[in-house]
Amino acid sequence: MSGTFDAIRFPSSENGTQIYKMLINGKWIESSNKKTFDVRNPYDGSIVGRVQKAARDDAENAVKSAFDAKKKIANMSAYDRAKILDKIADLVSEHKDDFVNVIVAESGKPVKVAGGEVEATIERFKFAADETKQITGDVLKGDNVPWHQEKIGIVIRQPVGVVLAVCPFNYPLFIGTAKIAPALAAGNSLVVKPASDDPICLFMLAKLMQDAGLPDGVLNMVSGSGSEIGDYLISHEKIDMISFTGSSDVGKHAAKIAGMKRLQMELGGKCPGLVFEDADLDMAAKECVTGALKFSGQRCDAISRILVAGKVADVFVKKVVSEVKKWKVGNPKDSDTLIGPMINETAVKKVDELVEDARKKGAKVLLGGNKGKGLFYQPTILDKVTTKMRIAWEETFGPVVTIIRVKNYEEAIRIANQSEFGLDSSVFTNGINKAIDAGLRVESGTVQINAAPAHGVGNFPFGGDKSSGMGREGVKTSIEEMTKLHTIVFNPKKPL
């Protein structure tokens, strides 16, 4: 790792393991209780580093720092905020290899996927810099009602204040950026809590944000247990908005304790891929497999159930088997590896339970179906899954292609909409009327036509319905969510 990051870490006196600090009020510090926890490489179990286990005092100091600094960023011109965001993008680009290596080590993500995550992070900051200059208000005349005809209203957007960003493990750098960049663009200060499984890359990002000229206190980053500091931060009265990505259960808990705060939540998913009789089956099979297996299926937008029309099911399934066999399992450092280890033992156990439940209830295992060495789970195809199996409804978060055969178009729509989740979905058809009809009727925040779900750099709004969340994300959309409308009304005919 480059010497640029020496300020955020120091070697342990015991064995030389790097110990990473937290960022509070512009200073890199240890936790007040001096406690740390290990971040381990999912591939081989080695220790990547130790990270601070923050106490409530640390969380309180982080909030106070963000609260005291919020005017620094709110009063900064949009031009200057945009310059900082552009500079961050440049610095991340300069240190791309450092970020890729750390993401591979702490998350087990294949190097190709990690490289894509860093590139998307760079683009997200650039996109946010551009949108910073496009934050506009409105001027309204009052003559559309009889009582205010002489009045004029000036409507502007102001930052909400202090944003708490709670980040997941699956895209540790990119999803953190997806919250941080628009929050800064809108003029907010931040408290960021990285995922405990792979927090180091976000601490590296915080250091580069300092180097880019971000004022002290505007960004604060604390690591530790969700039960110890997560609830404390979420319920804190000086937090104005929470941007949370994680499981539906934790998201619902957060919503209950948040109080009067703005909430932006991307939660669990059970994304369906609807494959109809008139679809291009070669393309549909490739997209569905990619949607199911990328990063071992550990994505809320993974295609975790494929609803395929019975008349083409046999042909489609053969194509799926052929595609899955192309996905090499191995060391995530190898450039040709497409599936690496899962994040932890709990994740592996959950996937195995779902597969075993389906197997016992009659699903046909065409490939895989077993745990591998360590934290690996074999890429698996389950055919003839029924709605009586847990895997038809529960979020899988693992490398499993789940195939449910349906009788017709209407049954596919019905089963797709029976899920408690509604984040993403994909529809595969060559019929324009069917694409439009399904696009309107499938109950999810985003419906992709002839493509796997992909949120990209946030140029399209995305987010979940039902138990998949609330609010919408995307660079421009997140900026709107992270600002509040402020209205000033004048009566020009009355003297000031």
Assigned token pair, 174: 């990119």
Residue 353 among the catalytic residues? no
Indicate the pairing of strand 421-422 with strand 465-466: antiparallel
| H-helix segments, 235-384 | 248-258, 281-293, 310-324, 345-360
Residue pointed to by tokens 């990063």: 295
Which of 68, 35, 67, 69 shows the shortest CA–CA distance to 51?
35
Reduced to 3 states (helix: H, G, I; strand: E, B; else coil), residue 378 is: coil
Residue 481 among the catalytic residues? no
CB atoms within 10 A of CB 485: 11
DSSP for 26-56, please give it.
TEEE--TT--EEEEE-TTT--EEEEEE---H
CA 452-458-462 angle, to 5 degrees, is 65
Assigned token pair, 87: 């500079």
Q: Cα 447 to chain center, whole Å?
A: 18
What are the φ and ψ backbone dihedral angles of 5, each rounded to 5 degrees? -100, 10
- CB-facing half-sphere around the CA of 107: CA atoms within 13 A: 32
Assigned token pair, 141: 């005349």
Q: Of 106, 117, 300, 481, which one is the catalytic site residue? A: 300
- Number of residues written out for the chain: 496
Which of 369, 371, 366, 361 shows the shortest CA–CA distance to 392?
361
Q: Of 60, 117, 123, 266, which one is the catalytic site residue? A: 266
The side-by-side arrangement of strands in the sheet containing 219-221 is 27-29, 22-24, 219-221, 189-193, 162-166, 241-245, 262-266, 469-470
Assigned token pair, 190: 């931040």
Assigned token pair, 243: 């941007």
Q: Which residues on adjacent β-strands are paired with residue 486?
A: 156
Catalytic residues: 266, 300
